[in-house]
Structure 1
Amino acid sequence: MRIETSAGPAEIELDQPRRPAFLLLLTHGSGGGVDAKDLLAVRDSALRLGGAVARVVQPYRVAGRRAPGSAVKQDEAWLEIVAHLRGRKRIPLIQGGRSNGARVACRTAVPARVRGVIALSFPLHPPGKPDRSRREELLDAEPVEVVVVNGANDPFGIPDPADAAEVRVIPGQPHSFRANFDLISETVTPWLIRWSERPATNG
């Protein structure tokens, strides 16, 4: 599926049961794709719970670029994608992503009116530059709950547990997860259940 946005076309990989319990939007890191194993682990968890999952390839990646460019334009395009996929559905909406995609999901959580955010490998700061913290992007999501899953050896840092609903640190893993995907599923599953069972407020 293709969706036209102000930043160009986005591409969507949609897995949808006949009567989905919720809709989960997931997106990639700055130079990556929607087939990253951690994203697939979250997708599979959502599908087991009866949710629909839309994995979004953002316009800059469709255009072949590795860097997202302007965060303002990226967020505007994301909100257009959310509006298109939500349509007239009255089911709960959840969003998430890995790395740069996690930043987008946090920054847009409030205007997108989502129930919760799954932030995989949230890049707290550039490697070796802890003074350039992106903590405020996590806080942008308040009062929406954010669940963070980062590797213990992530050079981009690990968010403080006080800044999210949950911070799960996966032992021995770098920024791009290579193992322990069962721990990712174990972390996100109860939150997906919790968010999907709340009274509907979005739509």
Structure 2
Amino acid sequence: MVPGQDGRVTSTEKIRTEQVATETGEARVHWYPARRPRLVLAASHGAGGGIEARDLRALAAALPEHGVSVALVEQPWRVAGKKVAPAPRTLDTGWRGVWPALAAPGLPVVAGGRSAGARVACRTAAGLGAAGVLALSFPLHPPGRPEKSRAPELLGAGLPTLVVQGGNDPFGRPAEFPAGDHELVEIPYGDHGFALPKRAELGEPEAMRLLTDAVTRWALSLLPG
């Protein structure tokens, strides 16, 4: 079963869960395979939530029909039931430990994640041989602390990078992002979790469609020919 873009669950084929041993504990990969895959999008969650995030659910529902298999990764600390994420170095170690399983299908792999997971992807993708980086709700700075910029992580990714950011994200609104080689797509009115206020001129299904369309277009542009 796979959650749809509107949060409902619909049926699909061959979804499987894989346990992966890493130096920091067991990780869990939820595979949503394309029928004729050309690319893998691997995405992990943030420090305050899991793979049930609305954007990750939407990607898992939408991308396989476009030839992109989606692998949603639960980091070892989350699998172990811990409430607080470990230090960045430990997060990076866990992600690197999962990578061989993500690359096992022999396809190009995009390293992605939301919030803290986006930071992990930016820090590690080039060294892992990723095809690109997808940064969902990149936490450019702590709320109200723009001087604590994490822009060097994003700008140092060294690979084709797509940032998808909510227009009202307190961790960094789109206008705050520095110029760079990355592409940035705004989800109007969205907060850090892409939730929308009642005054928004679009609903959640439209917002998630905007997100998945942008990610699909960008991901497929990474493929040769």
TM-score relative to the length of structure 1: 0.90
The equivalent of 1:182 in structure 2 is: 209
Q: How far apart in 1 are the matches of 2:110 and 2:118?
A: 12
Aligned equivalent of 1:108, options 117, 121, 124? 124
Query: Gapped runs of 5+ residues in structure 2?
Result: 1-17, 196-203
The 1:11–1:99 alpha-carbon spacing in structure 2 relative to 1, beyond 3 Å, is: same
Counterpart amino acid of 1:62?
V
Partner of 1:56: 73
Call closer, same or farther: CA 1:18–1:45 in 2, change over 3 Å: closer
Q: Deviations over 1:78-135 (max 9, x none)?
A: 1110123213x43111121111111111111111111111111100000111111000
Q: In angstroms, what is the RMSD of aligned CA positions?
A: 1.6
For the residues of structure 1 that align with 2:122 and 2:19, how far apart are their CA atoms?
A: 23
Deviation at 1:157, TM superposition (A): 0.9
SS for the counterpart of 1:54 is: strand
Question: What is the letter of the counterpart of residue 25 of structure 2?
Answer: G
Shift of 1:75: 0.6
Q: Of the candidates 164, 168, 183, which is equivalent to residue 149 of structure 1?
A: 164
- How big is the shift at 1:17? 3.5
Q: 1:6 aligns with which of 14, 23, 26?
A: 23
1:169 to 186, 191, 196: 186
Contact 1:147 1:164 in 2 (8 A): no
Q: In the aligned structure 2, how far is the partner of 1:123 from the partner of 1:54?
A: 22
Equivalent residue, structure 1, for 2:224: 198
Query: What SS does structure 2 have at the residue aligned with 1:198?
Result: coil
Q: Which has the larger radius of gyration?
A: 2
> Would you say 1:131 and 2:150 are equivalent positions?
no
Structure ranking higher on relative contact order (CA contacts 8 Å, 6+ apart): 1
**2:27 aligns to what SS in structure 1?**
strand
Greater CA drift, 35-44 or 146-155: 35-44
What secondary structure, in the 3-state scheme, does the structure 2 residue paired with 1:53 have? strand
Shift of residue 186 of structure 1? 2.1
Verify the 8 A CA contact 2:168 2:190 in the aligned structure 1. yes
Return the alpha-carbon distance in structure 1 between the equivalents of residues 134 and 61 of structure 2. Answer: 14
Separation (CA, whole Å) in 2 of partners of 1:68 and 1:38: 20
> In the TM superposition, what whole-angstrom CA distance separates every residue of 1:149-180 from its partner, at most 9, and x where no partner exists?
11111111135252342111211111111221
Query: In structure 2, what is the Cα distance between the partners aligned to 1:120 and 1:51?
Result: 17
The answer for unaligned runs of 5 or more in structure 1 is: none
SS in 1 for 2:179: helix
Q: Does 1:25 align with 2:52?
A: no
Quick one: percent identity of the two aligned structures?
41
Deviates most, 89-98 or 148-157? 89-98
Q: How many residues were matched structurally?
A: 196
The 8 Å contact of residues 46 and 192 in structure 1, kept in 2 or not, is answered as no
In structure 1, the residue corresponding to 2:47 is in which secondary structure? coil
